[in-house]
Structure 1
Amino acid sequence: MQVLKLSIITIIAAFIRIVFLDKIPNGFFPDEASNAYDAYSILRTGKDQYGHFLPLVFKSANDYREGLYIYLMVPFIKILGLNEFAARMTSAMIGTLTVLIIYYLVKEVFNRRVALSSALLLAIYPWHIQFSRIAFRAILFPCLFCLSLLFFFKSLKQPKYLPLSGLLFSISIFTYQSARVFVPLFLIGLIFIFYQFLWQHKFYTLLASILFLLFFIPQLIFYISPQGMTRANDVILSSNWLTIIKVYFSHFSPEFLFFKGDLNPRHLPQHRGELYYFEMITIPLGLFYLIKEKRKENIIFLIWLILYPLPAALTSEIHSLRAIIGAPLLAIISGYGITKIVDLIKFYPRFIVNFIVLLIISISLVLYSDRYFIDYPRWLTHAWLPTMGSVITYGDKTSSDCIVIDTNVYGEHIYIFVPFYGKLDPNYYQKLGVDIAVDRLDMGRWKVENLNEISSFNSQCLYITTTQQLETIIGKGYKPQPLEHFKDINGEEIYQVVKIKS
């Protein structure tokens, strides 16, 4: 029966993460395209888009991304081709796998009932679903971290699992910037709580330490290098402690968790929190019993809770992506709270209580699904650059030898859509020497330029820009001649392909 329930939960998790995957979110983001084209380049040439052979860290858009996620994309692009669905399928599978891992992790610490409740919640969590449906590498962090912790808990009964746990903890750092802060601090807490167990099993502890350091030291050397600090400098690590403290506690606020969430439209549909309303009861209750039941394992979850907002707080920004490691933890705490509610309500038969609980969860999921699949594609469509694939495809089919993309569409990062949607041969693309770091964005017939800075337009070129930008062109004494209009799902005209005459 437990296997059947877990199978149903896994199917639900996979379905929510895969259905309409190439359509919702509505559009595609440059970070996704960059990850996918790097994976495509590795598949075809063994090199990234810059011509570096099998790199561990990808330069990408000059933000130097950990390569594990990109390598995991390769088989999906091999099978499904270079497209939005294949690019996002990696995250969907990782997200679904995390649901299974949470089940076995929680079962190891509590019991099957709590494990099923926790897995079900993570399967339908808005927070986790959002990042399971876009090709951002951060979704790999909670997956590998939870797997690492699972084997640590298993090692408490069978110490032979300790080295594997140490190895996985080290690899989990190599997933996303937030892991660089969270995992080392978490491990300090883990070692402090279980130092007697670790000392008792010195051989396995030593082996785990060696495996951890073997993979961590090369990462550390890179992270403190100028390239490794590039992204940290971009997001601006804060030195204002009052701001850090304020942002830190904001990640525990009802406003973030239940009502408004992360306001970035790429991180969550508007007008809802990261979790469900009913968890305003289940999370406090689960947390109460975690604290009340004085077990070492419970303390580990409390350390996890204390640390999860820290990577986001250090950048002085409420940020669900940088705090994503909190999603599986809150599912565990809430799942624990649900089982306690069922146990406490003794004046009704258990099957009735279980039915009411499932009904509340089901209604919550239906309301969220309506918000995500029906309303979300129509909100702030510019956040996902919709129809950009159609724009690039249109340009590719023209006979023009000069096509200029305006950076005002979405900055210089817009360049990556050309090789992605044009499926440019990586051998050819690498020879172009395209490099956003030095403003080298000439791709043969395709160029990326800021039309605001152009004083003289070429009448032989096609220009791809936003409808609003046409007023700027007219103001310079030129006349844009529209060739093609591109509208979003609401029928609003957002991009145009034009020729420009004086």
Structure 2
Amino acid sequence: YKPPLYTYLVVPSVAVFGLNDFAVRFPSAFLGVLAVLFAYLMVKELLEENSKETTDRLARRSPALPDAGGTRSKLIALLSAFFLAISPWHLQFSRVAFETNSATFWSVLGTWAFLKGVKSQNRQIAYWFSLAAVSFGANLFMYHNARVFIPIYSLALLILFRNFLARNKKYLIIPFTITLLFIALLIPIITSISGQLRYKGTTIFADVSPQFRTSSLIAQDQEAGQELVGRIFHNRRLIYVPILIENYLSHFRPTYLFLTADMERHHAPQIGLLYLWDLPFIAAGIYFLVKNKFPKSTKVIIFWWFLIAPVASSVTWGVPHSLRSEIYLPTYQIFAAVGFITLYGVVRRKKIFLVTSTVVLAFNFLFYLHQYYVHMPHDFSKAWLYGRKQAAEFTEFVKGKYDQVIVSTKLEQPHEFWLYYLKYDPAKYLEEGGTVSGGFLEDRNKFDKYLFKPIEYEKQKQEAKTLFVGLPKEFPPGVNVLKQIKYLNGEPAIYIVGDE
């Protein structure tokens, strides 16, 4: 169900820090920090491709900046990294254990290594391309979106640098072998029934209602005597194309990017995925990258990355989806950095431009921090499934008085929370049967006295002396509520019901 790499990365963290929230989140935060560093190195390599032409152009555009050497490329790279470091999108997913954030790191690292490879000679080519192959290959086991993004993205790199690769084939044996190894490991997974569960659970192609609508339209065409035309225009093989296009384009909506984002767990209140401050500089950066004489390879890599980033998310429901498309980063930050540096070079009142931009950015960033630390816990605690820890600890404290504890599956895969917060011995759990994977409403999971299933209160309370844990709406009026857990906004979250 979940790609395994992040789990493996958590193992040494738990070994060092113990089983706690910090240990689980540390690898994501650490790779998020490394992504900033390698974003700088990657952008620097991108802009230094044919760097003389680039820096000469920038020197004409930005005469106020220090020198006409590599300084401007370094400034753009530095700004790109800085914008990534303070990005709401990047910070939101770096600070929790979301695999997609780590996938961004591997993409950036792989691109940097590949660019270093095409500038190297002899055995250094094999070294850098091997690092790129490991990075891209590891990404396939980090998050599902990378399994779509990496092959398409890598194809562009291979085509773009095909002449260089053809001249240095003898140094590609090891990188090629590494690539084949990762592919060989991946194919059995994605072709297995269990490996396809996630795809089938999220893809728009699992929804057959568009095909039913097509059949209805074809029937209408038959009645009108235009059966052939109907079968062409309403072909079931094409019915999903408009949906795919709409899903793809939804990821570029300004309101989604700069104002609302998507679900509550993916952003702070009143904050989008990007700052409003970013908008003019992103627009300017896209314009200058297209119009000015940046190296062809630079343009192709950045824009290809940018355009294919939402492809994986586009075949799923619930779009636009910031988690499934976070692999956009750091393209938006590169656009903003190019726009900022180039605009700084062409405006007349540079001090006013710099001071105004800094003040507005600082306001945006401080407002984000305020919303994140003050209002998000209060407003969005329900989205973050608040209360599971308190419920698990309370049930463990009183379970000795009961024959069994039934925890409602409406608490969203609660067995994971109880196992984690109670630090239940994994070996013992496996001896008792382990996890039964049958979807979000699987009702066969159990360990110790805990049963995870839908609550049928009147029936189940007769079977044994039972402690119940569930949503308030799952219980009839007048039950004996031993403990009520509330969300941080005061709304009732969880009832723990017993007969004491």
TM interval, shorter chain, is 0.7 to 0.9
Q: Is the 8 A contact 1:163 1:204 kept in 2?
A: no
Q: Output the CA distance in 1 between the equivalents of 2:277 and 2:490.
A: 36
Superposed, which structure 2 residues align to 1:125-144 within 5 Å?
A: 125-144=87-106
In structure 2, the residue matched to 1:92 is 29
Query: Counterpart of 1:176 in structure 2: which amino acid?
Result: Y
In structure 1, the residue matched to 2:468 is 463
Q: Are 1:393 and 2:398 an aligned pair?
A: no
How many Å apart are 1:440 and its aligned residue?
A: 2.4
Query: Counterpart of 1:330 in structure 2: which amino acid?
Result: Y
How many Å apart are 1:294 and its aligned residue?
A: 4.6
Residues 370-401 of structure 1, C-alpha deviations (whole Å, 9 max, x = no match):
11111111124221121211111111111234
Superposed, which structure 2 residues align to 1:2-13 within 5 Å?
A: none
Specify whether residues 500 and 436 from structure 1 end up closer, same or farther in structure 2 by C-alpha distance, changes over 3 A only. Answer: farther
Superposed, which structure 2 residues align to 1:15-414 within 5 Å?
A: 63=1, 65-110=2-47, 111-159=73-121, 160=125, 161-238=128-205, 240-262=240-262, 264-292=263-291, 293-295=293-295, 296-316=297-317, 317-349=319-351, 353-398=353-398, 399-407=400-408, 409-411=410-412, 413-414=413-414
Query: Counterpart of 1:218 in structure 2: which amino acid?
Result: L
Larger radius of gyration: 2
TM-score w.r.t. the length of structure 2 is: 0.81
Q: Is the 8 A contact 2:411 2:470 kept in 1?
A: no
Query: Counterpart of 2:415 in structure 1: which amino acid?
Result: Y
Q: Is the 8 A contact 2:269 2:375 kept in 1?
A: no
Q: What is the count of residue pairs matched by the alignment?
A: 428
Q: Output the CA distance in 2 between the equivalents of 1:313 and 1:226.
A: 22
How many Å apart are 1:445 and its aligned residue?
A: 1.1
Q: Output the CA distance in 1 between the equivalents of 2:89 and 2:192.
A: 32
Q: Is the 8 A contact 1:170 1:213 kept in 2?
A: no
Q: Are 1:490 and 2:452 an aligned pair?
A: no
How many Å apart are 1:82 and its aligned residue?
A: 1.3
Q: Output the CA distance in 1 between the equivalents of 2:362 and 2:250.
A: 28
Query: Counterpart of 2:259 in structure 1: which amino acid?
Result: F
Residues 195-236 of structure 1, C-alpha deviations (whole Å, 9 max, x = no match):
111112212234322221122222123212212111101112
Q: Is the 8 A contact 2:136 2:150 kept in 1?
A: yes
Gapped regions of structure 2 (runs ≥ 5): 48-72, 206-238
Q: Output the CA distance in 2 between the equivalents of 1:500 and 1:451.
A: 16
Q: Output the CA distance in 2 between the equivalents of 1:496 and 1:93.
A: 37
How many Å apart are 1:259 and its aligned residue?
A: 1.7
Query: Counterpart of 2:459 in structure 1: which amino acid?
Result: S
Query: Counterpart of 1:421 in structure 2: which amino acid?
Result: Y
Q: Are 1:443 and 2:444 an aligned pair?
A: no
How many Å apart are 1:327 and its aligned residue?
A: 2.2
Q: Output the CA distance in 2 between the equivalents of 1:421 and 1:215.
A: 34
In structure 2, the residue matched to 1:57 is none
Q: Output the CA distance in 1 between the equivalents of 2:386 and 2:134.
A: 41
User: Secondary structure at 2:266's aligned position in 1?
Assistant: coil
Q: Output the CA distance in 1 between the equivalents of 2:80 and 2:453.
A: 49
How many Å apart are 1:283 and its aligned residue?
A: 0.8
Q: Is the 8 A contact 1:402 1:446 kept in 2?
A: no
Specify whether residues 335 and 403 from structure 1 end up closer, same or farther in structure 2 by C-alpha distance, changes over 3 A only. Answer: farther
Specify whether residues 456 and 419 from structure 1 end up closer, same or farther in structure 2 by C-alpha distance, changes over 3 A only. Answer: closer
Q: Output the CA distance in 1 between the equivalents of 2:129 and 2:465.
A: 65
Specify whether residues 302 and 392 from structure 1 end up closer, same or farther in structure 2 by C-alpha distance, changes over 3 A only. Answer: same
Residues 252-291 of structure 1, C-alpha deviations (whole Å, 9 max, x = no match):
12112112112x1112234332101122111111111222
Query: Counterpart of 1:414 in structure 2: which amino acid?
Result: P
How many Å apart are 1:326 and its aligned residue?
A: 0.4
Q: Output the CA distance in 2 between the equivalents of 1:177 and 1:419.
A: 25
Q: Is the 8 A contact 1:406 1:448 kept in 2?
A: yes
RMSD between aligned residues = 2.0
Residues 165-206 of structure 1, C-alpha deviations (whole Å, 9 max, x = no match):
223222222211101111101111111111111112212234
In structure 2, the residue matched to 1:49 is none
In structure 1, the residue matched to 2:428 is 428
Specify whether residues 76 and 166 from structure 1 end up closer, same or farther in structure 2 by C-alpha distance, changes over 3 A only. Answer: closer
Query: Counterpart of 1:441 in structure 2: which amino acid?
Result: N
Query: Counterpart of 1:182 in structure 2: which amino acid?
Result: F
Q: Is the 8 A contact 1:403 1:464 kept in 2?
A: no
How many Å apart are 1:243 and its aligned residue?
A: 1.0
Q: Is the 8 A contact 1:404 1:462 kept in 2?
A: yes
Query: Counterpart of 1:177 in structure 2: which amino acid?
Result: H
